[in-house]
Structure formats: C-alpha cells, structure tokens
Chains A and B, each alone.
Chain A
Amino acid sequence: MFDWFDSDVLLQQLLLGLSNGMIIALIALGYTMVYGIIELINFAHGDLFMLGSFLALTLVGAAMNCGLVDPALMGESSHWWLLGTLVVVCGIFCGGLNLCIDHFAYKPLRRASKLSQLVAAIGVSFIIVNLGLFWGGLPMEVLGGGGAAAAPKDFPHLVSDVNLLGEESFVVMTWNDVVIFVVTIPLMIGLTLFVKFTKLGMAMRATAQHATAARLMGVDVNKVIAATFAIGGFLGGAASVLYANYNSTVSFQMGFRAGMDAFTAAVLGGIGSLPGAMLGGLLIGLVRAMSDQYVGSEWTNVVVFSLLVLILIFRPTGLLGLKQREKV
C-alpha cells in the first residue's frame, strides 16, 4: 500500500519538514536568546507568539473592511505588501509586548531564584492565553463574529495557493512555502550578523558569558536584557504571521505546542546557541514529517522525544552547545 521508496513522497515530506521546521526555528531563537542571557525558560514566549497571530488576523480583517484587499481574491492572488507589513507590525508588537512583560513580571525577580522566574513566566503564559480568548471574542467577521471566542479561527491565505510545480505534480509547493524561506532566512542571517558585529550584539554575548563581568566592563546589562526580549519577541511575532499564513489557523491555545516544539528545538541544538536553535528547529520539523509518514502519527511524539533523549545522552549539551566547564 505505502511504497517506502516513493521519491515524490519523500521529497514532499522533506519540504513540509523544512517549512514547519523553519517556523519552529524562528520561535526557538526567542527562547534560546532569552535563556542565553538570563537563564530563564520563557514559558510565555509561545503564547506571545499566539497573540501576534491574533493581531495579524485582526489586521487582515481590518484591511478587508477598509477595502484594501478583496476577500474573494484571498488565496488566488498574492498580497506581498500586506504580508510584509504584517511581519513587521506583528514583530514590533510582540517585541514591545515582550519588553513590557519582562519589565513588569521578570525584572523584579532578577535576583530571585531561577525557579520563581519560571513560575512567573508560567503565570504570564496563562494571562496571555486568557487575553487570546478575549481577543477571539471581538465582534469581527474574521474572528467568527465573536460568537465562539474559543474556537479556532480561519486565517486567509495571503499568497497564492497555486502549485508552483504544476497542477499535475504530486509534490505541492506553493508561495506559502516559499514565503517561509524568504522571510526566515534573511532574519536568521541578520540576527547572526547583528550578534556578531554590532556593539549591542557584542554586549549581548558578553552578558551571556558573564553578566557581572560584562557590567564591570561598562555594559548596561539591563538594556541588553531588554533588547534581547525585544528581539526575541520580534522574531516570535514574525513567526506568528508565517505560522498563521502557512497553517491558515489561529487559535488561542496554539501557543502551547508551538512553544513546546520550539523549546525542545532550542535545547536540542544547545540552549543559548543561535545556530543550534535553527538546527534544532529544522531537525524537529523533519523528524515530525518523516515519522508521520513512515512510523504513524500516533507515535510521532514518542519518536521526537526519544530522539531528543538519545541525542542528549550522547551530547549532554545539545548538538551545538558548548561543553560547560564545571566551575569550582
């Protein structure tokens, strides 16, 4: 029944794995950056990402209402300018929000134990989920008129659904896949360059290595932390638009799984390491797709987490993580 060596199927699953993995990687960057600087697993990051997609949906609805886009043409023609605007606007929104969250929830706990920060992050995550529920209840047509606040919402395709490989082809690749690569890869390159070559990036690396030492060298650590939250949030916001467009769904509970996948990716790659998060995200996306095809989707989570355990047993600090030297 299922031909194991069907190259079309393999190709398709590879493509799906990469597309999904890219989005996971983008979210994972937010986790890994924050962790690298203040050693906090920012549980609220996935839910922040969810709010970003709600903003995107609302803006699309507003654009439709204002006649900027024709609802009938959604999925037929591509609205590149709208997509670009959304990526930027939602990115800024999530970045700003992340900054505020840090300021009000985490900053006062900087000197407290890591675990109390973790619980604060869990608390923030619950608050955001509730805000998402309320957002879904707004009386807007794209939100289902607010009748069923808790239900998932349909997100219109902002780019064309036409199969770029031809209508006859088994493998489906649309602009939706392309968009992910077009947005994600420059963002990742930009981030890497930023961290490597700008002054703020250097300050970030210094703080990540040793906060006190960085402070003594004249680095404004608080500013660096704030910038980290803002950048991580921006990437999450950008990912939220890509996610919503790719899956065409927005739901107030979607942050949980996205966050868990991204966190797993960050750890798998070596938490604190930017290329590690990217590699981890791609790996998880690919493993999920392959497992769905060749093992059975009910075993996919088992496969992903078994692989994670195995990798960590042999490389205890992740794929690209630095070996921690024990401090005495």
Chain B
Amino acid sequence: MGTTSRATYKPAGLLSRGQCLLFGALLLIPCIELLFDLGISAPTRFVLGFAIVGIGLNVVVGFTGLLHLGIAAFMAIGAYAFAILTCTIYPFQLGFWPGLFAALCIGALAGAFLGAPTLRLRGDYLAIVTLGFGEIVQDLLKNLEPITKGTQGINPLPAPWFFGLTFASDTPKSWYFLYLAILILCTILVRNLEHSRVGRQWFAVREDELAARCMAIRPDKVKLTALAVGAGLAALGGALLASLISSTGEPGNYDFQISILALCIVIVGGIGSMTGVIVGALVMVGMNSILLPILGQKLQQAGIGTTTSVYLAPDNYKYLLFGLALVLMMRFRPKGIVAAREEDH
C-alpha cells in the first residue's frame, strides 16, 4: 500500500524471476533430503498449504487494500465443503480432485456472498465485519451438528491421487511435490490476474476508490472479484490442509488466531508481493512447525529444559519468540521481507 502503481503493459511471463528462484529452492528441499534426512519436507507441506491461503489473502489485502480479519472462515468453508463432498460418511463421495475443485468454487461463492453486504464499508469497519464473519462461521460449524458433525470434525478425508497413484500418508515427499505444483499453479493464475485488466482495477480501487470510479471502474464489482478470488484460494488451502491431516479438525481450529497468522504471513512476507507471501509462509509457519520444534528437540538433547520450572522450559518462550520476531521484522523491514517493487504490479 502507499505505493503508486504504474500500469505496465509488457508481457509478464508465467512467473517472476524471484518466484522461479523460490520454487527452485523449494524443489530442492526434498531432493536434498534424499541424501541427508533433514525431516523438514513433511512439515513444509503445511507451509505450502498456508502459502496458498496467503496468496488468496494477498489478493484482498495486498492488491485491493481491503483489511480482512476473517480469512480462517473461508479455510473452514473449504475444508468442510471438501470433507462433506468426499468423506465416506456422506452420500456424495466425489473423490479428491472433484472435491477440491468444488471446495474452491464454494469458497469463492461464499466469499462473494458474504462480501456483498460489506461493500459500502471502508477500512477498519470492513475489518471488524470480516472478523465477525470468522466468528459466525466457526460457531455455525459447531452448532449445526447434523450437517457438520459439530465438535467431532469430519474424517477420514481422501488422499490425493495422481495418474492412478493414491498417495499414502507415509510418503510425505509425493504430497510435497503435488502441493508445490498446486501452489505454483495458483501463483501463475493469480499472477495472470494481477497483470490483467482485473488486476489493474484492483490496484486502482486500492489507490483511490473515487478516482477509480471516475475512470468508469465499478469499485463494488472489483472488490467482489477480489473477495471471491481470495476466499476461493483460502478455501483451496483449507481443503488441502485438511486432506493433509485427513480430518477437518474441530471447528475451533479455524479461529481468529489462524486469520491473524494468515495476515502475518502476508505482511511479514511483503504485502502485495506473491514471492513475499510465500517467503512469509515459510517464515511464519516454518517457525512453528519446523524451527521451534527442532530447537526444542536440540535443547532437550543438550539436557536443557528438563526441569519443572516454568522459566526453564523452552516451550514457554514460544509466544515471546514469535512476538519478538514480528516486532523486530516490522522494525527493520516494515515493508516485509520481500518488499513489493513497483514494476511488480
């Protein structure tokens, strides 16, 4: 935000250089692991899922400038739509790919539907309404027990299959490649949108809604597209994450904290930059599911933290580390790790 975008008409290419480098590095991780077992490709699958959510949120927050605090609701909608359409305890049982596609569409529809009444709202009023939707969706999932199984969560969910091969839960690398491929597809898709007429309209609305209206852009329609794309991708990410653990988890797993995590992914990575968002997911989710666990394990192996004192257990410093990381990152890179360049738009 705050940057002025120039409409550039040079052909964009499928991926930017930064994105190619990033995906190349991500491709390398499991390859290196074939030689040295680092044990990080399995948890990195969650990073990939969250990166898709982040890319979706970035469309809303980064490209269109709408502060959204309830993206977890759309992850939940995606996960539950996927679950209801594929789980064996329901009559539909569409299978992985149709289920995933349906989750994406339902998510996008829900995004547009819930977005419609909020179009008049600006800035932080929109933020609180999206926050409210997050809470409402979560409570509906809990309370509408006949449909959603309430607190039970829905399981099992189908694993992906590819050319007749169904992925087993003990082959994390195959999941890793598939999720990475989906992430790359999403990136290409959103990048194309970004550089199309739709994308330029998003930026126009972000920079100045009134001026955009004067240019015969209809801000309502533009905002709705952004909300639908964002919600659809968040739903896709939610469905992928659910498939990964073969369960939707409890509705409480999609609470405000997750929306905040997604927002941190976008802002810490670099708002408005898709490369940044993926880096943000690596940093934020990676810190939780890769770095902190490994750190804790190493400390324990070194004999630290085996006492009962609350002050000596490494786990009790997680909030502090996470918070400090956020504050310091904003202090020294307020535009995020990968700041969006103007020509990126």
B327 to A41, Cβ gap below 8 A?
no
Chain A nearest CB, measured from B125 CB (Å): 6
B143 sits at the interface (CB 8 A): yes
**CB-CB under 8 A for A316 and B335, given A41-B127, A130-B316:** no
Question: Are the C-beta atoms of A312 and B61 separated by less than 8 Å?
Answer: no
Q: Give the most central of B124, B133, B311: most A CB within 10 Å.
A: B124
Q: Are B120 and A115 in contact (CB under 8 A)?
A: no
Task: Tell me whether A263 is interfacial, beta carbon within 8 Å.
Answer: yes
Decide if B331 touches A122 in the complex (CB within 8 Å): no
| A3 to B110 CA separation, bound complex (whole angstroms) | 38
Chain A, 99-138, contact with B by CB distance < 8 Å: what is the 0/1 string? 0000001001100111111111011111111110110010
Main secondary structure of the interface of B (DSSP, over half): helix
* C-alpha gap A140/B139 in the complex (Å): 38
Known: A115-B61, A134-B310, A267-B125. A126 touches B319 (CB 8 A): yes
Among the stretches B238-246, B264-272, B288-296, the one at the interface with A is B264-272
Q: Are B323 and A316 in contact (CB under 8 A)?
A: no
Given A116-B267, A123-B324, A298-B143, residue A317 in contact with residue B330 (CB < 8 A): no
A113-B335, A301-B136, A324-B122 known; A119-B311 Cβ under 8 A: no
Question: Is A35 close to B, CB under 8 A?
Answer: yes
- The count of A-to-B residue pairs whose CB atoms sit within 8 angstroms is 149
Chain B residue, CB-CB nearest to A271: B124
* B143 surroundings in chain A (CB, below 8 A): 298-299, 302
Q: Known contacts A149-B310, A302-B140, A306-B136; is A116 also within 8 Å of B320 by CB? A: no
Residues from chain A with a CB closer than 8 A to the CB of B310 are 133-134, 137, 146, 149
A308 within 8 A of B: yes
Q: Is the CB of A313 within 8 A of B120?
A: yes
- With a cutoff of 8 Å between Cβ atoms, the chain A residues found around residue B331 in the complex are 105, 108-109, 120
Q: Is the CB of B326 within 8 A of A316?
A: no
Interface residues on A, range: 35 or more
A301-B131 Cα distance, complex, nearest whole Å: 12
Bound-state CA distance A8–B18 (Å) is 67
What sequence of 0s and 1s flags, for each residue 298-310 of chain A, a beta carbon within 8 Å of any chain B beta carbon?
A: 1101100110110
* A267-B124, A298-B142 as given contacts; A305 in contact with B330, CB under 8 Å: no
**A264 contacts B by Cβ under 8 Å:** yes
Closest to A300 in B: B139
Among the listed B127, B128, B330, which residue makes an inter-chain contact with A123, where contact means beta carbons less than 8 Å apart?
B330
- Whether B326 pairs with A302 at a CB distance below 8 angstroms is no
Contact assessment for B271 and A115 in the assembled complex, using a CB-CB cutoff below 8 Å? yes
Chain A residues whose C-beta falls within 8 Å of the C-beta of B264 in the assembled complex: 119, 122
Residues of B within 8 A of A146 (CB): 310
Interface string of B117-156 (1 = CB under 8 A from A): 1101110110111011101100110110000000000000
- 7 shortest interchain CB distances as A-B pairs: A123-B326, A126-B323, A305-B132, A112-B334, A137-B310, A127-B323, A130-B319
